[in-house]
Amino acid sequence: MNRALYAAIFVGAVFGPALAGSPFSVSLDEARVVSFPKPVTTIYVGNPMIADVTIIDNRHAFVQGKAFGATNVIALDQNGRQVVNQQIVVAGKGTSTVTLQRGTKRSTLVCGGGACQPTPMPGDGRDSFDEASSQAERHQNLAGHAATRQD
């Protein structure tokens, strides 16, 4: 087999669901390893409050779920050509998104595992958006503090 066919098989195995229209999912406060079909030199996260990417090497990276919601990750090769543009969804296992409309105010929740959690989404009411954003930020600060604590 030639290299192009191997690359196509690899892309299908790693990003098959994405190419079929399904997002890559990761649970809140968990990480998954992503393999790229070819070497990448630049990675950009659409909303780094939702997910973070840490490069392992030019073919692998960790994706960490930081807050409930959805964003995307774009990876470029050394020539600036797009290798991957992948939607990332951070949620619990077996989740779905619910939009709650109260009069003119909207709230967005990510539901799974028998519970729903608020997630800040553009278009949500100011109170709902600000509260969910504030809670997500406090959660990230606590996690960061715990990770760097020196005992």
- CATH no. for residue 51? 2.60.40.1080
Residues 24-49 have a mean pLDDT of: 91
- Is the full-model pTM beyond 0.85? no
Is residue 7 one of the residues assigned to a domain?
Answer: no
Is residue 14 one of the residues assigned to a domain?
Answer: no
Is residue 122 one of the residues assigned to a domain?
Answer: yes
What is the domain count for the chain?
A: 2
Q: Which two tokens stand for residue 21?
A: 């229209």
The residue from 91, 121, 138 where one domain ends is 91
Residue that the structure tokens 């990332």 belong to? 88
Tell me: do 51 and 79 sit in the same domain.
yes
Per-residue pLDDT at 5: 38
> Which comes out higher in pLDDT, residue 55 or 128?
55
**pLDDT above 70 for 44:** yes
Q: Strand 31-35's sheet: what is its strand order?
A: 31-35, 60-65, 51-57
Per-residue pLDDT at 6: 40
Longest Cα–Cα distance of the chain, Å, equals 60
Tell me: do 113 and 61 sit in the same domain.
no
Per-residue pLDDT at 10: 40
Tell me: do 53 and 83 sit in the same domain.
yes
What's the domain range around 44?
Answer: 24-91
Is residue 9 one of the residues assigned to a domain?
Answer: no
**Which segment of 18-22, 81-85, 96-100 scores lowest on mean pLDDT?**
18-22
pLDDT band at 147 (very low <50, low <70, confident <90, very high): low
